[in-house]
Amino acid sequence: MNVLRCLPPEVQGRAYPKGDEKREAEACCKQYADLGKAHTVILCGEHPQHFFFNEELEKEDAEDRETKRELKGVMGRVGRVIEKEGRRFVFAPHPAFILRQPALVTHGQQALQIAANTERVVEPEYLDWGYAMEQLRWL
């Protein structure tokens, strides 16, 4: 089975992966759990953030609910840095999320700038959605 979708539920009529496809996508993501000697790890999206920090994020969400604050979610954590076991973990939005919403390019860049300690990371190039999807099929 190929994992073809990495989208939130029903985005423009495209369904989020479910069942076996979701399990395969999560298994694919777990292959990156061995971080080797990486000093800085960029956590792109909800799954890797919860993979490494589920307990902390669940506790934070529970405190937000208890105090009736809005839950932060992925976008509320963009740019957060957690130092743990000699590594820097930087929270970033998922690249597919940025592709669907070009207005979020700046958020992605800011997270990468935090990770890389640079002034500028990339200059975005906006592509027609159909063309971009065609290019992704070849990856």
Running along the chain, 139 residues long, what does each successive block of 10 average in pLDDT? 48 64 74 82 86 90 87 83 90 82 81 76 63 72
Question: What is the structure's pLDDT at 97?
Answer: 79
Do 83 and 114 reside in the same domain of the chain?
yes
Q: Which domain holds residue 100?
A: 38-137
Do 26 and 49 reside in the same domain of the chain?
no
Do 44 and 27 reside in the same domain of the chain?
no
Q: In the structure encoding, which two tokens stand for residue 11, read together?
A: 């985005």
The total number of structural domains that make up the chain: 2
pTM > 0.85: yes or no? no
Do 54 and 79 reside in the same domain of the chain?
yes
Do 27 and 43 reside in the same domain of the chain?
no
- 100: alpha, beta or left? (left if phi > 0; alpha if psi -120 to 50): alpha
CA distance 35 to 41: 8
Do 14 and 54 reside in the same domain of the chain?
no
Question: What is the structure's pLDDT at 104?
Answer: 80
Going along the chain, which residue ranges are E strands?
40-44, 81-84, 87-92
Do 79 and 100 reside in the same domain of the chain?
yes
Question: What is the structure's pLDDT at 10?
Answer: 54
